[in-house]
């Protein structure tokens, strides 16, 4: 019954989160009720009013120390999404709840401006979308991501974006001028060229060709583009690695990265359920290869190994990635975002106040 309601979604079930005392599981009672009577999983947005918007981390295996996530949960429905377990902290399921009950932060831009104005704030590039996609479908209407970019642009603050949505092109009027100042880079998640695999694995995300067109448009506008071939799933999209990198390079990407499939907590069960339903012929091989990179386990959370694994299979992927990026000229140039242009909101306000008395410094703001 749950699967019938979940058509067009990624997860196939909606099991209770790990913190719940009661476990709820649908069962066929033999009455053969029509699917329409059961109701469908519809997307619901739930407003949040956080006191802060920048989240800091000290993880040694990622390249940024702060993120902004205007949305929790993601309608794209990617079955592999490592953020799924976070919904359990809210008493919800990392399965279909994660795709249909989206927490949104409508006041995010104002909070960000207050945080940037603090005297204790030290500028460094912000990663937008450390967890879920900042350009998922609800962004078309809510425009929270755009409002955040407007604040960052107004104060010349550096920012990294990662998305699998063509909606990022809507904001080229902000991103292109920022890129000209060395203030922005965009990574496009690019997992497969196989439309069938895409439809089942990432049901509400942009199609493969659309992502290539997005890379091309960003690059043409002068925005540095990275292709993130992540996650690589053994024996599923991993055989496409070289073709993915070649297509991305032709589309204008200058850098690339990859992450091996991660299956922490509830994701392991959700993914194996999806895998056995959609690719039963390859399910055992996929999991066998993945476990070979994690010492026989579905996943290990240790720094460094959690994203790449280790052992012969993991090394083979690393060698293939390195050889292909070198052949294509990817990752030859490292592009560091500028931090010296940042103008805190309080400094701009102080200059405005001085100008009221005719004391504005030469050149204005």
The pLDDT of residue 38 is: 43
Q: Which residues of the chain have pLDDT under 50?
A: 1, 4, 33-38, 361-365
Give, as one character, the DSSP assignment of residue 214. H
The pLDDT of residue 60 is: 84
The pLDDT of residue 365 is: 35
The domain over range 2-25+40-329 is classified in CATH as 3.80.30.30: yes
Contact 171, 139 (CB under 8 A): no
Residue 101, C-beta contacts closer than 8 angstroms, at least 6 positions apart: 43, 44, 46, 73, 87, 92
Per the document, the length of the chain is: 365
Phi, psi of 227 (to 5 degrees): -100, 120
The string of pLDDT tens digits covering residues 23-52 is: 556 555 555 544 444 456 789 999 999 999
Closest to 9 measured CA to CA, from 351, 307, 274: 274
Domain ranges of the chain: 2-25+40-329
The pLDDT of residue 20 is: 65
The pLDDT of residue 41 is: 75
The pLDDT of residue 36 is: 42
The pLDDT of residue 18 is: 72
The half-sphere exposure of 332 on its side-chain side, counting CA atoms within 13 A, is 10
The pLDDT of residue 131 is: 87
Sheet holding 126-128, edge to edge: 54-56, 66-68, 126-128, 159-163, 184-189, 225-232, 255-260
In sequence order, the β-bridge partners of residue 44 are 101
- Output b/e per residue, 129-143; b: 16+ Cβ within 10 A: bbbbbbbbbbbeebb
| pTM, to two decimals | 0.88
């Amino acid at each position: 019954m749950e699967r019938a309601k979940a058509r067009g979604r990624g997860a196939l079930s909606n099991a209770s989160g790990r913190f719940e005392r009661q476990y709820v599981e649908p069962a066929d009672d033999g009455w053969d009720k029509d699917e329409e009577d059961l109701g469908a999983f519809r997307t619901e947005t739930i407003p949040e009013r956080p006191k802060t918007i920048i989240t800091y981390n000290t993880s040694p295996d990622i390249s940024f120390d702060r993120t902004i996530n205007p949305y929790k949960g993601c309608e794209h429905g990617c079955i592999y999404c490592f953020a799924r377990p976070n919904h359990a902290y809210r008493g919800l399921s990392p399965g279909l709840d994660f795709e249909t009950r989206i927490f949104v932060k409508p006041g995010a831009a104002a909070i960000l401006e207050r945080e940037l104005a603090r005297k204790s704030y030290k500028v460094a590039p912000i990663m937008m979308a450390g967890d879920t996609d900042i350009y998922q479908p609800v962004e078309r209407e809510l425009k929270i991501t755009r409002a955040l970019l407007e604040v960052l642009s107004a104060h010349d603050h550096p920012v990294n974006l990662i998305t699998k949505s063509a909606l990022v092109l809507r904001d080229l009027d902000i991103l292109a001028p920022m890129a000209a100042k060395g203030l922005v880079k965009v990574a496009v998640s690019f997992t497969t060229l196989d439309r069938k695999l895409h439809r089942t694995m990432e049901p509400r995300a942009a199609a493969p060709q659309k992502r290539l067109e997005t890379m091309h448009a960003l690059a043409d506008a002068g925005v540095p583009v990275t292709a993130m071939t992540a996650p690589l799933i053994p024996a599923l999209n991993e055989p496409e690695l070289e073709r993915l990198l070649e297509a991305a390079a032709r589309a204008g990407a200058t850098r690339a990265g990859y992450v091996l499939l991660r299956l922490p907590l509830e994701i392991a069960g959700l993914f194996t359920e999806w895998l056995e339903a959609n690719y039963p012929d390859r399910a055992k091989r996929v999991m066998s290869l993945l476990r070979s990179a994690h010492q026989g386990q579905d996943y290990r959370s240790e720094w460094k190994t959690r994203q790449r694994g280790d052992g012969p299979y993991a090394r083979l992927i690393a060698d293939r990635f390195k050889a292909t990026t070198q052949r294509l000229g990817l990752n030859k140039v490292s592009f560091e975002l500028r931090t010296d242009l940042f103008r805190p909101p309080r400094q701009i306000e102080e200059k405005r106040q001085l100008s009221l008395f005719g004391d504005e410094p030469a050149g204005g703001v």
